[in-house]
Copies of this chain bind each other. A is one copy, B any other.
Amino acid sequence: MKKHGSERNRGIEPTKNRIMDAAQMLFAKKGFDATRVQEIADIAEVNKAMIYYYFKDKDALLYAVVERIIKGIKDAIPRYLEEEDNTIDGLETFLDFYIEYLAQNSSFVRLMAWEILSGKHIQSLAMDYFMPMFFLMREKIAKGVDSGQIRPVSPEHTIFSIVGMNVFYTIALPLIQILLGGDPLSAEMLSKRKEEVKAFVMKGLLPFEDRRRI
């Protein structure tokens, strides 16, 4: 059953993965600068030196975590954007999926938020991660505008608005919890959120004409 190398591991997971998991969790929670290498080691149940055995330095560990996230996400989101169905139906499906996805993966949404704020690696992040998704979404919306299914909006600004309203909900979770007085990620809350966002976005993007003709 053992895969490679030695296996006197603490648990099931290989050491390197445990380190990356712990790092991702802490980077997401407290940010890179506030995270101590020793903390990562403690949570991963690993000697601190092991981190430097597998990674050049703390920065390299961050890169590895981010890269792993990007690799994992590159399949997920685009699937719902590349489908060639009706733009409007596709948009609603996408929103359902997107909100669920952000909620389920709030850990790396937060990590991305830290990264965007710090701006330290924004160039490579934009190239590797944001741009591909951005272009896909832009084309999708532009197609909807051309076909008249969506009113003549700016695709770029529409993307910023949709992404912004959803990402904010994930990032500001602790604040929203206080304001709402309940877990914003609970099943009911989240389905309420989906309904509200879908209605808001759809009505915000549909052309007048289509509505009048009903």
Interface positions of A from 134 to 181, Cβ below 8 Å from B: 134, 151, 153-154, 156-158, 160-169, 171-172, 174-176, 178-180
* A179 touching B118, Cβ below 8 Å: no
> How far in angstroms is the closest Cβ of chain B from A156?
6
* B130 touching A175, Cβ below 8 Å: yes
* B122 touching A117, Cβ below 8 Å: no
With a cutoff of 8 Å between Cβ atoms, the chain B residues found around residue A180 in the complex are 156
What's the tally of chain A residues with a CB closer than 8 Å to chain B?
57
> How far in angstroms is the closest Cβ of chain B from A194?
10
Given contacts A168-B168, A204-B203, whether A117 and B31 have CB atoms under 8 Å apart is yes
Nearest neighbor of A160 in chain B, beta-carbon distance: B169
With a cutoff of 8 Å between Cβ atoms, the chain B residues found around residue A169 in the complex are 160, 164
> How far in angstroms is the closest Cβ of chain B from A186?
14
> How far in angstroms is the closest Cβ of chain B from A73?
16
With a cutoff of 8 Å between Cβ atoms, the chain B residues found around residue A48 in the complex are none
Chosen A-B contacts, 13 in total, with CB atoms closer than 8 Å, are A30-B118, A31-B31, A33-B33, A113-B117, A116-B174, A125-B175, A131-B179, A160-B169, A161-B200, A163-B168, A200-B205, A204-B204, A211-B211
